[in-house]
């Protein structure tokens, strides 16, 4: 397996398609160390891409699916010894591509739109689809079927031109089909439709009994509003920013970590953040906030 001399042409090709990209570690699927809040750093500016990959040509490239208006269907291959679950233990079902074809047969007479596709390092396939403006899809894992995940708002995929060297497989990500990206087919959109959000309700915060407590209450409510008022593509960023701000107060001894985590989690859940990403984003924000403790004057 050879490493490409430069990932820059691939990153440029992605932004010229209108996608937002950011760098991953060389040989890895992970963002650069210390590169927290990766979605905030994703760019589609050619100058930014040239500056970064010109200086770091072997950094892998990630496509931030939410800001790029994409849903990417990840059709995987089984790991050694992995067998399909009972509901997919059928003749002809050996991997995610077979499961996806079966779903298309059930819901669309076998029709799968011709679209941009990337072959992954383990022989799987990434199918790229555009989503209508104003509609938010979340990441899923196994929702569609065995060996099928999707990446949308709050997610990213390793882009073509990258080379990943992990214990479970080494190899490049290559363009399988350079076609234009097709719209997300209606049958797939229906299957991925998110569950309705729970009704909005106030998040309880401390009662103001003096100036200090009143300030804390106001600070907490402002950060919770940052989350609940954020547009769909910015909710995870809003959660991170709120976690940093309240993490400063935790580090200063003004609030407890348990209190802050509870309030932030409840606000994030109300706007549809997933149970997987909420605690991870909050922990990251609290760690960053702890570097600058803040106290409130009595």
pLDDT digits (tens, 9 = 90+) for 50-67: 999 999 999 999 999 999
- Residues 148, 272 within the same domain: no
Residue 202 lies in a domain: no
pLDDT in tens, 81-117: 899 999 999 999 999 999 999 999 998 876 788 999 9
**Residue 162 vs residue 231, higher pLDDT:** 162
Q: What are phi and psi of 86, to 5 degrees?
A: -50, -40
pLDDT exceeds 90 at position 14: yes
Query: Which among 158, 192, 226 is the end of a domain?
Result: 192
- Residues 88, 232 within the same domain: no
- Residues 172, 39 within the same domain: yes
- Residues 96, 14 within the same domain: yes
The residue segments making up the domain with residue 84 are 8-192
Average pLDDT of the chain is 88
- Residues 187, 238 within the same domain: no
Q: Residue 111: what pLDDT?
A: 76
Residue 66 lies in a domain: yes
Number of structural domains found in the chain: 2
Residue 93 lies in a domain: yes
Is residue 168 very low, low, confident or very high in pLDDT (cuts 50, 70, 90)?
confident
Residue 257 lies in a domain: yes
- Residues 243, 138 within the same domain: no
Residue 219 lies in a domain: yes
- Residues 65, 154 within the same domain: yes
pLDDT exceeds 70 at position 4: no
- Residues 137, 84 within the same domain: yes
Q: Residue 234: what pLDDT?
A: 76
- Residues 28, 102 within the same domain: yes
Q: How is residue 286 written in tokens?
A: 């609290």
| CB-based contacts of 193, cutoff 8 Å, min separation 6 | none
pLDDT in tens, 178-202: 999 999 999 999 899 876 655 656 6
Residue 204 lies in a domain: no
Q: Residue 199: what pLDDT?
A: 63
Residue 282 lies in a domain: yes
Domain CATH number, residue 40: 3.30.2250
Q: Residue 1: what pLDDT?
A: 43
Q: What are phi and psi of 192, to 5 degrees?
A: -95, 0
pLDDT in tens, 110-165: 678 899 999 999 999 999 999 987 788 888 889 899 999 999 988 999 999 999 99
Mean pLDDT in residue range 6-17: 97
- Residues 220, 164 within the same domain: no
- Residues 239, 153 within the same domain: no
Residue 3 lies in a domain: no
- Residues 82, 142 within the same domain: yes
128-159 CB burial, b ≥16 within 10 A, e <16: bbbbeeeebbbbbeeebbbbbbbbbbbbbbbb
Q: Residue 203: what pLDDT?
A: 62
């Amino acid at each position: 397996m050879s490493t490409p001399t430069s990932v820059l042409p691939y990153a440029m090709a992605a932004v010229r398609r209108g996608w937002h990209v950011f760098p991953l570690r060389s040989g890895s699927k992970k963002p650069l160390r210390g590169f927290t809040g990766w979605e905030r750093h994703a760019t589609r500016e050619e100058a930014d891409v040239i500056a970064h990959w010109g200086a770091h040509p072997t950094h892998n490239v990630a496509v931030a699916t939410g800001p790029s208006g994409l849903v990417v269907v990840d059709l995987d291959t089984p790991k050694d010894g992995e067998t399909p679950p009972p509901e997919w233990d059928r003749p002809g079902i050996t991997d995610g591509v077979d499961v996806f074809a079966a779903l298309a047969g059930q819901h669309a007479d076998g029709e799968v739109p011709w679209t941009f596709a990337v072959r992954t390092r383990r022989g799987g396939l990434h199918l790229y689809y555009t989503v209508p403006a104003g509609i938010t899809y979340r990441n899923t894992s196994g929702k569609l079927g065995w060996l099928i995940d999707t990446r949308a708002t709050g997610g990213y995929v390793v882009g073509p031109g990258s080379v990943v060297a992990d214990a479970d497989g080494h190899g490049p990500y290559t363009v399988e089909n350079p076609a234009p990206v097709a719209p997300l087919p209606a049958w797939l959109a229906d299957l991925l439709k998110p569950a309705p959000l729970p009704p909005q309700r106030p998040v309880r915060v401390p009662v103001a009994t003096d100036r200090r407590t009143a300030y804390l209450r106001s600070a907490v409510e402002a950060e919770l509003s940052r989350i609940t008022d954020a547009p769909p593509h910015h909710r995870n960023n809003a959660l991170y920013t709120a976690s940093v701000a309240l993490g400063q107060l935790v580090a200063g001894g003004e609030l407890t970590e348990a209190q802050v985590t509870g309030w932030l989690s409840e606000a994030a859940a109300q706007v549809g953040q997933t149970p997987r990403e909420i605690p991870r984003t909050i922990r990251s924000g609290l760690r960053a906030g702890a570097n600058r403790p803040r106290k409130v004057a009595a």
